Structure 1
C-alpha cells in the first residue's frame, strides 16, 4: 500500500519520502491541491498508527487515495511505469552477453542489437472483505498484452514489484489505452470470477526487451547466433544467451573453438584425429576396431574378412589369400574367410561362375570355397595335389595362384607356365 501510494504521488508530480512510519510529501503541484484538498506539503499515515501526526490517514477506501486514483485515470487512462532498475543502454546488455561465452583463440562481438520498450500490464484491484471495519486488501496482477498471466518468478526477476514513473514520455494512443484497460478487466474477471473485487487501475509497465545477433571470430573463421529476451534477465545473469549448436553436438555450448578447416563449434564437438593430429568435428571421425582410437575416414579400410573398419596401418596379410585384413580376424595367420573353407559342387552359383571363367578348374575332382567381401578363395584338390586360387569377386581377376601338396600346408607361388596349365 505504501509503495503504491508513493508511486501514485510521483506519477502525479509529487515529491515524497518515507520517515518514521509516515509518508512526507514535500511539494504537491498547485493544480493538484484543490483536487486532493491539501496544502503544498503534507504527511500521510498509511499504517493507522500515526494518525495524530498526519494530515491524512490513507486506506484503500479513503477519499484521499481514491482522489489520487481518479486524477491519474483522468490524465492518462492507463498509467505508465518502468522498473526502478533495468538496463537503459545496449552497452549494459552486450557486456553481459559477451561474458556468457568462452571463445578459444577468438572473440565475440555484436552483429546488431536493439533495445526497445515492451509493455506489460499491471492490474491493481481491491479484494473487499465482509467485515465493516476491514477496508480490503490491495493487490496487483501482471499480464501480457493478450491477458495471459505472468508468473510471480518473472515478476520478481523483471523488478515489477518496484516501479517508478518513466523519465521520458512513451506515446500511448487512446485506442491502446482503452484496449489495455479492457484486457486488464477481462484478466481480473478470469482471476477472480466469484470474488468481490474492485478494479482500481491498469498500468502499462515498459520493460526493456533486447534482440540482436552475436558474432564469433576465430582467425578467419566466423559464426553467429541470434538472441532475444528481457534485457534485465541477461544483465542480472538469470538468463543466458543461446548456446551454439552444431549437427554433431545438438546440446549446444557456450564454450566455443574452431576446427582446422575453419568451423566454429562447441568445444565438446571437436576431437583430434589420432593419425593426422587435425582438430575436426567428432562426427567426422571413425573408431578403429583394433586400436579403439578415432581418426578421419581417409586413414581407414574395411576388413574384407570381418567387415570391421580399421586403420590401414593395422592391417596384416592373411597367409593363405594374402588379402590385407584386420588382425582381430586372423588366427594362426589365416583370416576368418580362409578358415571357413567349405566343400562346394559345380552347381553352387559361385563355383559355376568361376568355372565359366576358368574351365580348367573342372579338371579337379574336389573344391572348397570361401568368400570375403572382396574375393573368392578356392582350394581345388586331387589325390596328391592342391591348387589355391584367389580371385576378385567383381571381375574374377586372379589375385593369387599357388600350388601345394596334400602332404603339407605350405603353398608355392605358381609360375606363368603353371598359370597357363591350370587356368587357360
Structure 2
C-alpha cells in the first residue's frame, strides 16, 4: 500500500464525548425551490398582498426599462438591470418593517425604491453625481454596494449592535450568486451564526456572475446548502414567485427578530438583460435559454393567479400600468435635467474629520477651479480683477 493510500484509508475516530454542536438535518434546504403560485397553496394567499406585489412588480419593470433607456441617452453612466428579478427585489423590501435595515447590492435599485427612496436619488450613484444619493438613515437603506459582498459584514455588524442595544431591528442583506465566492460572504455568515445576529441573507442566484455561470463558481448542491456549514438554516425558493419569496423572507425576518438567528435564502431567478449596458450577454449564453426563462416571468406568474381568482380586471390592470408610466415619465423628466454639481463635494462626507491628504487635495482642487474661473472671465490668474480692472 502506498503512503497516499495509507493516508486515504486513515479515518480518525472522535473521542466518545464528542457530539455535533448542531443537528444539521433541520438546517438543510428543500431539494426543490419552494413555490406558491401554480400550487394549491396559492388559494390561501392574501388578495391584498397579491395586488400590492403585482403593482410593485409592474412599476419595477417599467423602472428597469426606463433606466436602461437613460443609459443609452447618456443620462446614466451605467445601469445593472434587474429585469426578471423583480420578485426578489420587491419581496425583500416588503418583508421588512419600517425600523429594519436593507443592505443592497448595486443591482438592487428596485428594492431601494420600494423602501421609499426617491427614484432619482436611487440612481444618483450610477449617474456618477454623488457618493450615495440618498440619506441611509432616513430610509434605513445602506448605500448601494458596488464591490461584491462588502455590504454583508456591515449588515451583520449593524444587526449584532442592535441586538446588544436591545433594539428590535433586523437587517436584510442582498447579494448575487457571484458574491458568494467572495471572502466577505464567508466572514459575514460565520460571524452572524456565531453571534446569532438578527440578519437575513438573500442570495439572488440569477445564473451568472457577469459571464461566469454558477457551475464554474461552486460545486455545492445549491447555494442554500452553504448555510449548513455556518450553522444556520438554508432556504431554497423560486425567485420568480413573488408570493413564495415574500413568505420565505417574512418567515426568516420573524425568526431573526424572535432571537432565532440568521437565515440564508437562495432565490433561484434569472437575469434576462445583460449584466450592465456595457455587457454583451450573447457572448456567453444563447437566446433559447433566455426565452425559457421569459416563459417563467414573475409578472406573468402573478397576473395569471390574480386573473384566475378574479382579483385583477382590465380596469385595475390598466390603472397599474398607467401608474407605472407616470412614474417613468417623472423619472425621465427629472433625469433629463442637468444637475448642478459642486466638484468640492468630492471631499464631503468622506471622513468626519478630513485627513491631511484630503485637506491638501481639496486645497489643490479649489486653486485649480479658481484659476479656471479667472481664465474664463478674462482676468489674470490671482488678480481677481475683471476686464475693466474692477474687483469681483
So what's the TM-score if we normalise by structure 2? Answer: 0.23
In our comparison, the structure showing a higher alpha carbon Rg is 1
**Which structure shows the higher helix fraction?**
2
So what's the TM-score if we normalise by structure 1? Answer: 0.21
**Which structure shows the higher strand fraction?**
1
Higher relative contact order, structure no. (Cα contacts within 8 Å, ≥ 6 residues apart): 2
